[in-house]
């Protein structure tokens, strides 16, 4: 394949007319790579997405793809917070700035969003997932492999290809294996569909990872995984109408949580959700066990007991349910209204008091003897 690219490059360089090669002015955001000598020429734009622009370039004597990420004001990616949950940067000062949403923090968050795809694509390539080979990430530009089809031309998106039912089912099975490998590597794509898969000469290649999430730190990972696999089924069902929908995503997530998922795991499409609900006592027992294990760990390390030690044996009483809290609030309100009504009601007149006999007043004269006056 590399020899084919080199011959095509030499032919187009000599002719300068047809084929892939049409030299254009180097965009400003690619000037740094040209100054470093990494990039020799920019051939033409390949595509423009909701978060980046992709150019066909010549780098190191071969065709490559340069991905330039758009600024935040020009991106149309929705619900970004759903994907960035759990992402952290190594520098604690930068992380505090990101948390406070300061000017420096917003700049660092933007830089982290741009570098996320480079980090993830290196991780997935090392894990054996079929992704474009990454070459360089400099000044916010990702330089990577150009995916070619069987004719040596830039590979089309899966959405732009018409397939037979057998080919569609085979590609679905191949992509499911890639999703399993990605999950084993700690990555959920988050936006996987036929628009983010290229059909190369040797099979599908998954692209576009800036929105990918880490299932160990993002609580939306399961929902995104189910949606990704559902998108693949929707695409395949366009060509194979009788293709059954099976809970592959739920199965692989259950295996992942049980630490039983491996890159070569063969999915069966069988998943039975657990219907038994644990009571309050069982949950409290699990909390006490976890606290007890933590205290043992701290004791073995010579650390002071944690705050959980005081409540390990006597957990706080469980909170009322929302329905019970609502009923209690209504009862309190009724009692207050009754007390206010009693206080505002007019009091009945008091009965007249019984007359008392007038007692004589005693006075003393000059001689000291008491006298009575009536």
Average pLDDT score, the chain = 78
> What is the predicted pLDDT for the residue at 105?
58
Compute CA distances 245 → 91, 162, 174, 185, whole Å. Answer: 44, 21, 16, 25
- Check 35, 139, 208, 293 and give the catalytic one: 208
Q: In this model, does residue 183 exceed pLDDT 50?
A: yes
Cα first-last separation, the chain = 137
Q: What is the DSSP letter of 314?
A: S
The secondary structure of 61-115 as a DSSP string is TEEEEEEEEPPGGG-----HHHHHTT---S-HHHHHHHHHT-HHHHHHHHHHHHH
Q: Grade residue 243 by pLDDT with cuts at 50, 70 and 90.
A: very high
- Of the listed ranges 17-26, 133-142, 169-178, 214-223, the least confidently predicted one is 17-26
**Residue 59: phi, psi to the nearest 5?**
-140, 125
**Which of 5-14, 165-174, 342-351 has the weakest average pLDDT?**
5-14
Average pLDDT of the segment spanning 355-360: 54
Whether the predicted pLDDT of 28 surpasses 80: yes
94 labelled catalytic: no
Which pLDDT band, with edges at 50, 70 and 90, does 338 fall under? confident
The pLDDT of residue 12 is above 50: no
Half-sphere CA count of 135, side-chain side, radius 13 A: 18
Residue 93 has pLDDT above 60, yes or no: yes
C-alpha span between 153 and 200 (Å, rounded): 9
Whether 253 shows a pLDDT value over 70: the answer reads yes
According to the model, what pLDDT value does residue 11 have?
Answer: 45
pLDDT tens, 193-203?
A: 999 999 999 99
Angle at Cα 155 formed by Cα 149 and Cα 161, nearest 5°?
95
Distance CA(59)–CA(133), nearest Å, equals 14
For residue 1, name the pLDDT band (cuts at 50, 70, 90): very low
- Residues 150 and 172 sit within 8 Å (Cβ to Cβ): no
Active site residue 191: yes
Give pTM, 2 decimals: 0.63
Catalytic residue among 191, 202, 264, 293: 191
- CB-count exposure of residue 235 (10 Å: 0-12, 13-18, 19+): buried
Is residue 308 helix, strand or coil?
Answer: helix
Is residue 89's pLDDT more than 60?
Answer: no
Q: Which stretch of 86-90, 221-225, 250-254 has the lowest confidence by average pLDDT?
A: 86-90
Average of per-residue pLDDT across 315-331: 65
Q: Within 10 Å of residue 122's Cβ, how many Cβ atoms?
A: 14
User: For the segment 290-303, what is each residue's pLDDT rounded down to a tens digit?
Assistant: 888 778 877 777 77
- Range from 192-196, 228-232, 297-301, 369-373 carrying the lowest mean pLDDT: 369-373
Helix (H) / strand (E) element for 3: namely helix 2-15
Q: At residue 312, does pLDDT exceed 60?
A: no
For CA atoms 191, 193, 198, 202, the dihedral sign is positive
Share of the chain above pLDDT 70, in %: 67
Least confident span in 46-50, 246-250, 251-255: 46-50
Tell me if residue 306 falls in helix, strand or coil: coil
Interatomic CA distance for residues 150 and 34, integer angstroms:
30
Question: How confident is residue 100, by pLDDT bands cut at 50, 70 and 90?
Answer: low
Residue 357: alpha-carbon gap to chain centroid: 92
Tokens linked to 279? 């009571």
Q: What is the model's pLDDT at position 5? A: 41
Q: What is the DSSP string of 252-276?
A: HHHHHHTT---TTPPP---------
């Amino acid at each position: 394949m590399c020899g084919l690219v080199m011959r095509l490059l030499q032919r187009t360089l000599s002719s300068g007319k047809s084929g892939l090669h049409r030299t254009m002015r180097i965009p400003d955001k690619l000037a740094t790579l040209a100054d470093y000598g990494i990039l020799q020429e920019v051939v033409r734009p390949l595509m423009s997405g909701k978060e980046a622009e992709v150019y066909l370039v010549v780098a190191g004597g071969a065709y490559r793809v340069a991905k330039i990420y758009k600024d935040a004001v020009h991106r149309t990616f929705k619900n970004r917070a759903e994907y960035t949950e759990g992402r952290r940067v190594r520098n604690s000062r930068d992380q505090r700035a990101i948390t406070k949403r300061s000017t420096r923090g917003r700049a660092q968050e933007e830089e982290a969003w741009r570098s996320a795809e480079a980090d993830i694509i290196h991780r997935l390539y090392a894990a054996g997932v079929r992704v474009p080979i990454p070459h360089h990430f400099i000044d916010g530009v990702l330089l990577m492999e150009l995916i070619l089809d069987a004719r040596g031309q830039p590979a089309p998106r899966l959405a732009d290809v018409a397939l037979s039912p057998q080919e569609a089912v085979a590609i679905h099975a191949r992509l499911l294996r890639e999703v399993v490998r990605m999950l084993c590597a700690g990555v959920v794509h988050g936006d996987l569909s036929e628009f983010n898969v290229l059909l190369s000469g040797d099979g599908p290649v998954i692209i576009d990872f800036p929105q990918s999430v880490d299932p160990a730190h993002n609580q939306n990972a399961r929902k995104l995984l189910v949606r990704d696999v559902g998108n693949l089924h929707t695409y395949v069902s366009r060509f194979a109408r009788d293709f059954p929908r099976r809970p592959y995503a739920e199965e692989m997530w259950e295996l992942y949580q049980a630490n039983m998922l491996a890159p070569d795991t063969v999915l069966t499409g069988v998943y039975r959700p657990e219907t038994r609900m644990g009571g309050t006592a069982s949950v409290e027992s699990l909390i006490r066990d976890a606290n007890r294990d933590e205290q043992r760990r701290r004791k073995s390390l010579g650390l002071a007991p944690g705050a959980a030690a005081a409540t390990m044996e006597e957990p706080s009483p469980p909170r009322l349910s929302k329905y019970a809290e609502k009923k209690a609030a209504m009862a309190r309100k009724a009692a207050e209204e009754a007390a206010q009504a009693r206080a505002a009601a007019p009091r009945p007149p008091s009965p007249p008091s019984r007359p008392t006999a007038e007692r004589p007043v005693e006075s003393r004269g000059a001689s000291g003897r008491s006298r009575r006056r009536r």
